[in-house]
Amino acid sequence: MKPGIHPEYRPVVFQDRTTGQSFLTRSTATSDARIEWEDGNSYPLIVIDVTAYSHPFWTGNQRVLDTQGRVEKFRRRYGGRTR
């Protein structure tokens, strides 16, 4: 790799905004906020909206959509039309 053009790849803590769960990984993301991790070291903190801790697919909490209302609205709007 060409030296001096790549961002620094270092340990960073990501925290789920919804659940408060955190995990330590490596990333090029930067932040001014810092957090002291379980090993006693301080790492940059990146707060994100969705992780595997809160995503409906991974948690099994799928949202129920109002498909009946959508179908009826579609049928009222387009159902009676013929070519």
Structural domain includes residue 34: yes
Structural domain includes residue 5: no
Residue 71: what pLDDT? 76
Burial of 66: CB neighbours in 10 Å, binned 0-12, 13-18, 19+: exposed
**5-55 per-position pLDDT tens digit:** 999 899 999 999 888 889 999 999 999 999 999 999 999 999 998 887 777
Residue 3: what pLDDT? 85
Residue 57: what pLDDT? 64
Structural domain includes residue 2: no
pLDDT at 64 over 60: no
Entry field: residues in the chain: 83
Please count the structural domains in the chain. Answer: 1
pLDDT band at 58 (very low <50, low <70, confident <90, very high): low
Q: Which of 13, 35, 33 is nearest to 24 (CA)?
A: 13
Structural domain includes residue 46: yes
Structural domain includes residue 4: no
- Token pair in block for residue 1: 């790799």
Structural domain includes residue 44: yes
